[in-house]
Structure 1
Amino acid sequence: MMNQPIFHYQEEIDKLRDRFQFDFVSMALVQPAEDRFVLTWQYASGNINERYKRIVLHSGKGIAGIVFKTGKPMFIQNVNADIESGDLFNYPIIVAEQLKSLGAVPLWDGARVMGVLLVGYRAENRLNKASFDIFQEGLGTAFGAFHAKEVSQP
C-alpha cells in the first residue's frame, strides 16, 4: 500500500482562486453526525467573513447538499435571475458570501461523494457555462484524495 502525498486543501483552493480569478472558493466535506451525514464548509479562500464555518447542510439542502445528493455539478450564472429572493435562505453560502454567479462540483472518493468544491463571483454573469466547463477540465481528475469527475460504476 502506497502512502499518498499530503495534500494541502487550503493551499490548493487558494491556487484555484488565483488561477481562475474567482472571488470565492470553498470546499465542503461530509461530517458524520450520529449516523446522519451533514456537510460543513471546511476550507475557504476569498471569504468576506467567517460565517461559512457555521453553515451545516443536510443532503439535498443548499448548494453543497444538492451537489452531494445528486453527484452532479451545479451551475448558477445569475443568482438574482435564477433563485427567487424568498428562497435564498435555502442557500446560506450565497447569502453569507454575497455570491451572484457560481458553480459547484462533487468530489468523489471511489463511488461516493465525500465533498463539494464551490467557486463563485460576487458579480452577476461572471461565470458562464463555457468558463465553468473550462474550470472543471482544468481541475483535472484528482483533487487530493478525491476525484473531481464521476467515476464509472462497475
Structure 2
Amino acid sequence: MNEPSGQYQRDIDQLRERLGYDFVSLAFAQSAQDGFVLTWQYASGNLNDRYKRIVLQSGKGIAGIVFKTGKPMLVADVKAELDPNDMFNYPILVSERLSSLVGIPLYQLDRVEGVLLAGYRGGNAVHNEDFRRIYESSNGQIGDFGIKEMSFP
C-alpha cells in the first residue's frame, strides 16, 4: 500500500456520502508471514471499533470469500439469505448490524489485494445496480487499488 492511509479514508468517506450507504469499509490482506489473513483497516459510518479486531482467513467471512474467489458478493437481505446460526462466520455483519451489503474485490496488478464492503443497516437493500454505482462513483479506483468493471444480470 503505497498510498497514504488518509487517502483510503477519504475515498470511503466520499463513497459513503455520495451513494448513501450506512457503512463502507476496506479490508486488506496482510503479509505472507501473517498467513495472508485479512483485516478490516478502514471504516466509514462504523458503530464501533470492533472491525479493527476482526481477523479472517482466506475463504472465511465476507472479505475472505470475496478475496479468495475474486468475485463480488451481494447479500440483499442478510436475514433471508444467511443462516442465523452461521452469523459467527460473518463478524463484520454482526458488529455493524448490517442488513444488506455488497463486497467487491480490489485489484492491484491483476491480483486481489483487498475488499471493499458497502452496506445498509435499515430498510434499504443493495441490488445488482450497486456494483455499477460503486464503480462509476469511485472512477474504478479506491486509493491505488482498481475495481474491475462488472456486469450482472
Q: TM-score, normalised by structure 2?
A: 0.89
- Map of 1:2-151 to 2, 5 A cutoff? 8-32=7-31, 34=33, 36-149=35-148
3-state SS of 2:117 partner: strand
> Structure 1, residues 35-61: CA drift from partner, whole Å, max 9, x if none?
510100000000001100000001000
2:138 is aligned with what amino acid?
Answer: L
Detail structure 1 runs of 4+ shifted over 6 Å in the superposition.
none
Change (3 A) 1:90 1:124: farther
2:24 is aligned with what amino acid?
Answer: V
Deviation, structure 1 residue 5? 7.3
CA–CA separation in structure 1 for the residues paired with 2:46 and 2:34: 30
Q: TM-score, normalised by structure 1?
A: 0.88
1:14 is aligned with what amino acid?
Answer: D
3-state SS of 2:122 partner: coil
3-state SS of 1:8 partner: helix
CA–CA separation in structure 2 for the residues paired with 1:16 and 1:8: 12
Query: Is the 1:105–1:118 Cα contact (8 Å) retained in structure 2?
Result: yes
CA–CA separation in structure 2 for the residues paired with 1:115 and 1:140: 17
- Backbone CA RMSD of aligned residues: 1.8
Q: In percent, how many aligned pairs have the same letter?
A: 55
CA–CA separation in structure 2 for the residues paired with 1:115 and 1:46: 19
Give the total of aligned pairs. Answer: 147
Deviation, structure 1 residue 131? 3.2
Query: Is the 2:140–2:147 Cα contact (8 Å) retained in structure 1?
Result: yes
1:10 is aligned with what amino acid?
Answer: Q
Structure 2 unaligned segments of length 5 or more: list them: none
- Larger displacement relative to structure 2 (25-34 or 121-130): 121-130
- Larger displacement relative to structure 2 (74-83 or 24-33): 24-33
Query: Is the 1:78–1:124 Cα contact (8 Å) retained in structure 2?
Result: no
